[in-house]
Amino acid sequence: MLDQTTLTIALLFILFIIIVFVLSGIKVLREWDRVAILRLGKYSGIKGPGIIFVVPMIDKIAMKVSVRLLTYAFKTERSLTKDNVPVVVDAVMYFKIIDVEKAILSVERYTVAVELAAQTTLRETIGKVTLDELLSERDTIAQHLQELIDEKTEHWGVKVTSVEIRDVVIPAALQDAMSREAQAERERRARVTLAQAELEASEAMLKAAKTYEQSSVGLTLRTWNIMQEISKNANLIIMVPTSIPEVGSATAAAISAGTGGLKVPKNKGSPQ
């Protein structure tokens, strides 16, 4: 009876060990997780997502990686542009793993490798462009950065989908100089615009003068139109010269009465 009880206990203990052994090998991976399995130290394959079984003491999970889109923000510390201007460029990179096997087996830590590649490539690119190009052609430079970094990381199974330049910080003294330069450029454009307007106005006045030269009636009408505009101010006294032949007493009296500002002497305005 004792032997049977001992045997039962031993069997239950062995069964318990087997259950624990089996359960210890069951792993649950999320939809975006992948793991590399090493069996007795040799690469066996990639598993995931869902429920996987890892043989205890035989299989080992070498690394777990995520196949989701990853982001990495990085910047350079006072890098020199092609025209020797110290700048600090702040950028962000988007990348994802497209070949899990390469990402795990080809490089020790793919994230560190990608980050270092991004930093060195950014420094190299800044040194090949001028400050004006860096400020005005951000999209083009970012696209070039994406191509260069992707070329380096494709051997690690990593795809760089996009690189964006978020900010370019330049020295304060240079910012003031650029501000003054921009102000001077705006003033220059304003003066050019004013000079162009004066040129067009002078050309129009020259054409009008030629027209008045050919028509004395038109010149007289224009003269009286100017006087009428001036005489709208009731406190203004206008002296009309008698050298204008078309100035008659009736016209002068009508304008003086109508505007209150244009006055002609009583003994003037009639033919001599």
Instruction: Summarize pLDDT for 135-183 with one digit per residue, the tens.
Output: 888 889 999 999 999 999 998 999 999 999 988 888 777 666 666 777 7
Q: Furthest-apart CA pair in the chain: how many Å?
A: 162
Q: How far apart are CA 208 and CA 264, in angstroms?
A: 28
pTM given for the model: 0.60
* For the chain, counts of helices (H) and of strands (E): 8, 11
Q: So what CATH class is 70-170?
A: alpha beta
Q: What angle do CA 223, 246, 236 make, to 5 degrees?
A: 50
Q: Which residues, 6 or more positions from 253, have their beta carbon under 8 angstroms from its beta carbon?
A: 264
User: Do residues 169 and 90 touch, judged by C-beta distance below 8 A?
Assistant: yes
Asked if 138 contacts 89 with a C-beta cutoff of 8 angstroms, the reply is no
Which residue do the tokens 């490539």 mark? 121
Section 187-206 average pLDDT:
85
What residue ranges of the chain are covered by domains with CATH 3.30.479.30?
Answer: 70-170
The model's pLDDT over 39-49, given as tens digits with 9 standing for 90+, comes to 988 888 898 88
Average pLDDT in the chain: 80
203: pLDDT strictly greater than 80: yes
Distance of alpha carbon 56 from alpha carbon 234, whole angstroms: 109
> What one-character-per-residue DSSP string does 229-242 give?
HHTTSTT--EEPPT
Instruction: Give 86-126 pLDDT, tens digit per residue.
Output: 888 999 999 999 999 989 888 888 999 999 999 999 999 99
Nearest Cα residue to 121 out of 99, 140, 142, 107:
142
